[in-house]
Amino acid sequence: MNETPKNGLWTPDQPMVSIKDVHKSFGPLEVLKGISFDVMKGEVICIIGPSGSGKSTLIRCINALNDIQKGSIKVEGIEVNDPDLDKLELRKKVGMVFQQYNLFPHKTALENVMMAPIHVLKQDKADVEQRAYRLIKKVRLEGKETSYPGELSGGQQQRVAIARSLAMNPDVMLFDEVTAALDPETVKEVLVTIQELAEDGMTCILVTHEMGFARELANHIYFTDRGVIVEHGPPASFFAEAKDPRTQEFLSQIL
């Protein structure tokens, strides 16, 4: 292969998401100072760390909600740090769920799930509707199809948001502190939904404070502080043998 196409030829044996030496600044404030890691297909990655450490910024960079100043982010071979990036192509592959759910308040739960496939992918409405019913069922919200977001609890809204992302058939899901705004009882229902997704083989990148969840489900945990990855590893060794004092301090506070 002497002439690689612009977006490369991605094969499933290569990292699905490949992050190399990513630098990101907001004005004079450098938030990410050279972050690198790879995510393989089907992996569940948890990014943890104190607030302000750049976790959310990092995963927002993966679907180009934030741009980066230096480095490379590749999603299935698509270079995100490229002025000619086809954002639609990228966002078809990457689904994102937010801390504040961010549902469209003027549409019912079902319509929220149906909107993007119809508007963005121009898919047939009847097909999309069938799929949307299935997705609503998958996130255990049967019977809530015609409810508006304002009539749903936080946990229910978050599950609609997950279904909404899944409707686009993404290959990677990004979860940005999706349980941080929920009360403890509803955290669980959202985590179960994500767990089922992971078990179905969905590639997931989560920014989270749910250590129990990370320990149980993550293939790999990254601890970030002040814009760098301080320590990382599979959960068993990460929690048992954290070496860096910053990691130890963080874990002692949170566990």
Partner 1 sequence: MLDLLTPFFRRLYDETGWNFVIFYEQYEWDRFVAAIWVSLELIVASLFFSLVVGIVGAWLQGSPIRAVRLFMSGYIQFFRNTPPYVQLLFFFFVLGNFTPKVDMGGYYEPMITSFGWAVISLSFFAGAFNVEIFRAGIEAVPESTREAAESLGYSRLMAYVYVILPLAFRVCLPSLNNNLVNLLKTTTQAYAIAVPEMLYTLNQVWSDNVNVPEMMIILFVYYVGLVAVLVWGMHRWERKMKIPGYG
Amino acid at 11: T
CB 3, min distance to partner 1, A: 29
- Spell out the residues 6+ positions from residue 114 whose beta carbon is closer than 8 angstroms to its own: 125, 128, 129, 132, 167
- Tell me whether residue 102 or residue 219 sits nearer to partner 1 (CB atom): 102
Unique residue bearing structure tokens 């504040």: 100
Q: Does 115 bind partner 1 (CB under 8 A)?
A: yes
Instruction: Tell me, residue by residue from 126 to 165, as one string, x for binding to partner 1 by CB under 8 A and - for no binding.
Output: ---------------------xxxxxx--------x--xx
β-pairing, 94-97 vs 172-176, is parallel
Strand locations in the chain, DSSP E? Answer: 17-26, 29-39, 44-48, 70-75, 78-79, 94-97, 172-176, 203-207, 220-225, 228-233
What is the Cα Rg of the chain in Å?
18
Q: Does 105 participate in binding partner 1 (rule CB under 8 A)?
A: yes
Total residues at the site for partner 1 (CB under 8 A)?
Answer: 31
CB of 178 to partner 1, least distance (A): 13
Alpha-carbon distance of 171 to 52, in angstroms, equals 28
- From 9, 12, 120, 169, residue interacting with partner 1 (rule: CB under 8 A): 120
Q: Which helix (H) or strand (E) holds 166?
A: helix 154-166
Name residues contacting partner 1, limited to 60-99 (CB under 8 A). Answer: 63, 65, 87-88, 91-92, 94-96, 98
From the CB of 239, what's the least distance to partner 1, in Å? 31
Question: Which C-beta is closer to partner 1: that of 65 or that of 251?
Answer: 65
Residues found near partner 1 in the complex (CB under 8 A): 63, 65, 87-88, 91-92, 94-96, 98, 100, 102-106, 115-116, 119-121, 147-152, 161, 164-165, 168
